Amino acid sequence: MSSSTSDRRLSELWNCVTLDEASSLINSTSSPFSLQNFVGGQYIAPHDSLTSSSQHITSFEPKTGRPIYTLPCTQPHAVEAAIKAAKAAFPSWSKTARAERSAILWKVSELLQQNREVFAIWESIDQGKTLDRARVEVDRAISNFSYFSTFILHEQTAARMVDGVALTYEHRSPAGVFALISPWNMPLYLLTWKIAPCLAFGCTAVAKPSEVTSMTAFLLGDIFQKAGVPPGVINIIFGDGATTGAALVASPLINGVSFTGGTQTGIAIRRLTAHQIGKHLSLELGGKNPTLVFADSMVPSVRERTIRVAAMAAFENQGEICLCGSRIYVEKSVYNDFVRDFTAYVREKYVLKQTVGAVASLQHCDKIRGYLELAAEQKATFHLGGAPPTLNEDEAQGYWIEPTILTDVAKNSAIQIDEIFGPVVTITPFDNEQEAIQLANDSEYGLAAILLTTDGARMRRVGEQLEAGLVWVNCWLVRELGTPFGGMKNSGTGREGGEHSRDVFTVVRTLHLPAY
């Protein structure tokens, strides 16, 4: 694609300020858009990356099943070129004054705010989520840049005296070049959650979004240009995990990896980098999160809140959030009431194609359908939803799955154990507090948990025993960007957010100075 053609196509994307305009643009195009890598401050086609059909990827619109763009499956030599661009930019950027880095990142947040609706439109089309949900995530992406742009202006360090002998103090410096890899479920939000602190703390990066949802990452390159981010500081390449991602994380020129995605991919990253002991790793992986509903949370004064929070945690973004509460455990005395009220609420509030979007891909739709077919085979009770019909790529009219509520699912069923990552929730009774804790912790994962109770003592007593990196009490998805974000067990390693992101993207050394 020529430079003028690329610029025209980019302009067409920016000019879509409604969903209808974006859909019309897609329909009016004889062939899908071709996304280009953003390397060294400009859009480029990776050398030889589109020379055969096996070296490009087609992305489909989840709500219709139609192709919307192609992207390069960036080959290892082109990955290395992007890494070298980041490496070349690091000496200057790492020594750039914090006030200057702050101003540039603040400008990024302003430009995102100015283009909020355009980003939300393309995020909704690309991922399948509702436009309202996409707007929430764009707002959080804006906050990522505004937060870290000011955070770095107020850093502090620690100094200690060894009485009469020495003064010691901690000194931090940027860690180097990072690989930033984000998933397909919240593309812009989670990619910027990595880019913002990485650049704020003086590192440079090569970012790779999921090949399933790459559109808003493509648009970000233009934002970085307009904000004045120096060439090579942030590079965005496209491709799959096996080819592009593996070459990226395994490169000896990469000093650290921040990854959000599936546990199996996280394990693969650990293996690929095992011989590089000093490489920083921050891995936020899968979750099969419990929601605990105690009887006191079903009294009339708070019942509506309990049902609303449990439903939001189960079905927001079609259940495609690693923090969703997909295992609901309810105290037996209120179990039947909860199932009845919860089902009625979800039926009214979470309506397919209105307040519930499409799942992200045909492959993921097939995966979820397989679990629902298994539920039917295992004689689970469907209070809502069911397995959708089998589709192939040629006949797909969108990847739609009804919100599904299941009871009578065995404890050892794959439906209770595996991360389904869709609009599917199980409800199971418990007898007492200790059983609730045991059921909640009976998982290989430990990312998040939701605790619904009005008992203040129980909030701490139970909350502090849950094996989860994040515990929400009577709320869900509330975030303060300085708090540590990450999981236990197979839900990952490391924490990000505020000072914890500083730990990821900097190295610390201790200096010892004579006292006299």
- Catalytic residue numbers read 284
Q: Which two tokens stand for residue 175?
A: 């860690």
Query: Distance between CA atoms of 82 and 78, rounded to whole angstroms?
Result: 6
Query: Distance between CA atoms of 206 and 282, rounded to whole angstroms?
Result: 15
Give me the phi and psi of 461, to 5 degrees please: -60, -45
Handedness of CA 256, 444, 432, 296 (dihedral sign): positive
**Bridge partners for 429 per DSSP:** 330
CB 138 within 8 A of CB 118: no
Q: What does R_g of the chain's alpha carbons equal in angstroms?
A: 24
CB 452 within 8 A of CB 459: no
- Number of other CB atoms surrounding residue 111 within 10 Å: 19
DSSP 342: H
41-54 residues labelled b (16+ CB within 10 A) or e (exposed): bebbbbeebbeeee
Q: Where are the beta strands (DSSP E) in 25-151?
A: 33-34, 37-39, 42-44, 56-60, 67-72
Query: Distance between CA atoms of 392 and 403, rounded to whole angstroms?
Result: 21
- Number of other CB atoms surrounding residue 9 within 10 Å: 17
How far is C-alpha 182 from the geometric centre of its chain's CA atoms? 6
Q: Which two tokens stand for residue 250?
A: 């395994």
Query: Distance between CA atoms of 243 and 74, rounded to whole angstroms?
Result: 7
DSSP 356: B
Strands of the sheet containing 177-181, edge to edge, are: 42-44, 37-39, 234-236, 204-208, 177-181, 256-260, 280-284, 492-493
Query: Distance between CA atoms of 29 and 16, rounded to whole angstroms?
Result: 14
Query: Distance between CA atoms of 178 and 250, rounded to whole angstroms?
Result: 11
Give me the phi and psi of 112, to 5 degrees please: -65, -40
Query: Distance between CA atoms of 45 and 112, rounded to whole angstroms?
Result: 25
Q: Rounded to 10 degrees, what is the CA torsion of 182, 184, 185, 188?
A: 60
Task: Please give the span between the terminal C-alpha atoms of the chain, in angstroms, as a whole number.
Answer: 66
**Count helices and strands in the chain by DSSP H and E runs:** 17, 23
How far is C-alpha 173 from the geometric centre of its chain's CA atoms? 27
